[in-house]
């Protein structure tokens, strides 16, 4: 058995790469033309944000960027399954989920320009700060979901749930294992959403597991489902079901979204050093956006004017992103020392004073 087996018989799919709608005995969804146009719009706009931010890094305006290219359906399908009161814990690639939580694309830029840690309010947006430490957010999310359970927010139609995002590589981290154990034994309302994009930087999924990742859930005692992560409808349907299980007190659930990282790991990475380009060419045929476009056209649910209006909207977002990025003020030199301790700390304050006087010795270093 290989973790990288192509999809496999258990793969949940509702929209084929050719844009054909197929039925599934357990997971189906009624989707209106308007809803599907909305999902298409979300995916096109986040892809544009992603490409624009990638270009801004190439121009030296961002220190680094983490591309989501290819993972739009996994992120929009799951992000749109959430209710406003649910909580989401991202890793560092979840720009599409951020979009669904109402985080502005401009609010992500400071993280990658090195000026802040993200400017949104995690409590208000129900979207935790990005986490770079692999797998760590799984423990944070398990604790949060246990809190929802203890606070009595689980057990009926109005129940709350939590979703946590992590990668295929993260499944090898101890934190993820511990998160599985805690959530399982406390029946925490937690959806573990693993985006298996086939790579952990240069390590393929077969280096993480001998068996398909969704099957790991069984060992912990909760359901695991593999969904076509390039199929926005299937991802939406499966995530809605999983969140509902959690709301009713039957959580947790593991979802493995089978997808592909179409670009580099980050702008600091060169994937041509460790993978062949024919792999990418194969996945291009399974593009998450194209299949929705084909389906919309076939159904006559969208016309040329619709597609052009989305392009115009994407252009406008791109302009806004560029202008915001190049005019972002540099943070004051003392900024890295602030907001570390709520009540101050003498050792840190001494370090700050020393650094500020050193910094003031340089031309332009007075602030
Ligand atoms: C604890 C820890 N170890 C190592 C790293 C370095 N690192 C950054 S991303 C990454 C690979 C993660 O792969 P995966 O979980 O598949 O997520 P993806 O980047 O593919 O979305 C590693 C090892 C880190 N950030 N944190
Ligand atoms: Mg990965």
Q: Is 134 near ligand 1, meaning CB less than 6 Å away?
A: yes
The answer to whether residues 279 and 342 belong to one domain is no
Q: Flag whether pLDDT at 363 surpasses 90.
A: no
Q: Is 229 in the pocket of ligand 1 (CB under 6 A)?
A: no
Across 294-315, average pLDDT: 98
**Tens-place pLDDT, residues 92-146:** 999 999 999 999 999 999 999 999 889 999 999 999 999 999 999 999 999 999 9
pLDDT digits (tens, 9 = 90+) for 189-226: 999 999 999 999 999 999 999 999 999 999 999 999 99
- Per-residue pLDDT, 1: 41
Residue 366 and residue 226 share a domain: no
Same domain, 307 and 357: no
Residues 298 and 361 in one domain: no
CA of 13 to the centre of ligand 2 (A): 21
> What pTM did the predictor assign?
0.95
- Same-domain pairing of 305 and 336: no
Give the per-residue pLDDT at 366: 57
Are 204 and 172 found together in one domain?
yes
Specify the number of domains making up the chain: 2
The pLDDT tens digits for 159-170 are: 999 999 999 999
Q: 299 and 336 share a domain? A: no
* Calpha distance 321→236 (Å, rounded): 28
Residue 152 lies in a domain: yes
Whether 133 lines ligand 1, by a CB cut-off of 6 Å, is yes
Q: Is residue 15 part of a domain?
A: no
Taking the centre of ligand 1 as the mean of its atom positions, its distance from the CA of residue 213, in whole angstroms, is 16
For ion ligand 2, residues whose CB falls within 5 Å: 167-168, 197, 200
Site to substitute for ligand 1 among 134, 207, 283, most atoms within 8 A of C-beta:
134
More confident residue, 363 or 99: 99
Cα of 360 vs centre of ligand 1, distance in Å, is 37
- Whether residue 5 has pLDDT greater than 70: no
Give the closest ligand to the alpha carbon of residue 71: 1
Q: Is the CB of 169 within 6 Å of ligand 1?
A: yes
Domain hosting 239: range is 33-326
Catalytic residues: 261, 265, 274
Cα 171 to ligand 1 centroid, rounded to whole Å: 10
Using an 8 Å Cβ cutoff, are 188 and 142 in contact? yes
Same-domain check for residues 350 and 322: no
- For residue 26, being part of any structural domain is answered with no
* CB-ligand 1 contact for 201 (6 Å cutoff): yes
What's the average model confidence in pLDDT over 140-157?
97
In a domain, 106, yes or no: yes
Residue 110's contacts (CB-CB under 8 Å, 6 or more residues apart) are: 116, 117, 118, 119, 328
Is the Cβ atom of 197 under 6 angstroms away from ligand 1? yes
Q: Is residue 151 part of a domain?
A: yes
Pairing mode of beta strands 253-258, 190-196: parallel
Residue 285 shares a structural domain with residue 229: yes
User: Percentage of the chain surpassing pLDDT 70?
Assistant: 98
Q: Do 254 and 346 sit in the same domain of this protein?
A: no
CB of 95 closer than 6 A to ligand 1?
A: no
Domain holding 88: CATH number?
A: 3.40.50.970
Same domain for 213 and 234: yes
Has residue 2 been placed in a domain? Answer: no
Distances (CA, A) of 141 to 319, 346, 351: 35, 32, 33
DSSP 322: H
Tell me if 3 is assigned to some domain: no
Closest CA to 105 of 94, 115, 90, 89: 94
CA–CA gap between residue 5 and residue 3 (Å, rounded) = 6
> Of ligand 1's atoms, which has the minimum distance to the CA of residue 167?
15
Atom of ligand 1 nearest to the CA of 66: 19
Establish how many alpha carbons lie within 13 A of residue 114's alpha carbon, considering only the half-sphere containing its beta carbon.
7
Q: Ligand 1 atom 5: the closest Cα is on which residue? A: 134
Residue 100 lies in a domain: yes
> Are 123 and 269 within one domain?
yes
| Crossing angle (nearest 10°) for helices 33-58 and 304-326 | 30
- Mean predicted lDDT score pLDDT of the chain: 95
Q: Omega before 252 cis (within 30°)?
A: yes
């Amino acid at each position: 058995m290989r973790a990288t087996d192509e999809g496999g018989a258990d793969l949940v799919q509702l929209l084929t790469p050719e844009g054909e709608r197929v039925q599934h005995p357990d997971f189906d969804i009624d989707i209106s033309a308007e809803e599907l146009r909305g999902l298409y719009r979300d995916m096109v706009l986040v892809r544009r944000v992603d490409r624009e931010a990638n270009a801004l890094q190439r121009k030296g305006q961002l220190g680094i960027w983490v591309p989501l290219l290819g993972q739009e359906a996994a992120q929009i399908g799951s992000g749109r399954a959430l209710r406003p009161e649910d909580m989401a814990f991202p890793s560092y690639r979840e720009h599409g989920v951020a979009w669904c939580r109402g985080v502005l694309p401009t609010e992500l830029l400071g993280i990658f320009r090195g000026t802040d840690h993200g400017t949104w309010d995690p409590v208000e947006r129900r979207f935790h700060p990005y986490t770079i430490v692999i797998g760590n957010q799984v423990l944070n999310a398990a604790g949060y979901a246990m809190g929802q359970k203890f606070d009595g927010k689980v057990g009926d139609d109005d129940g709350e749930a939590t979703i946590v995002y992590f990668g295929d590589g993260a499944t090898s981290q101890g934190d993820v294992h511990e998160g599985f154990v805690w959530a399982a034994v406390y029946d925490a309302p937690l959806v573990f959403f693993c985006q298996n994009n086939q790579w952990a930087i240069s390590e393929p999924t077969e280096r993480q597991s001998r068996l398909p990742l969704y099957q790991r859930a069984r060992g912990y005692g909760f359901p695991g489902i593999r969904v076509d992560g390039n199929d926005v409808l299937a991802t939406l349907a499966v995530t809605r079901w999983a969140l509902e299980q959690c709301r009713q007190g039957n959580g947790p659930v593991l979802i493995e979204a089978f997808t592909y990282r179409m670009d580099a790991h980050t702008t600091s990475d060169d994937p041509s050093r460790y993978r062949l380009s024919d792999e990418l060419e194969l996945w291009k045929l399974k593009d998450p956006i194209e299949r929705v476009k084909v389906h919309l056209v076939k159904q006559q649910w969208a016309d040329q004017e619709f597609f052009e209006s989305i392009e115009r909207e994407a252009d406008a977002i791109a302009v806004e992103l560029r202008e915001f990025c190049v005019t972002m003020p540099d943070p004051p030199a003392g900024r890295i020392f602030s907001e570390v301790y709520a009540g101050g700390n003498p050792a840190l304050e001494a370090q700050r004073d020393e650094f500020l006087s050193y910094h003031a010795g340089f031309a332009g270093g007075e602030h």
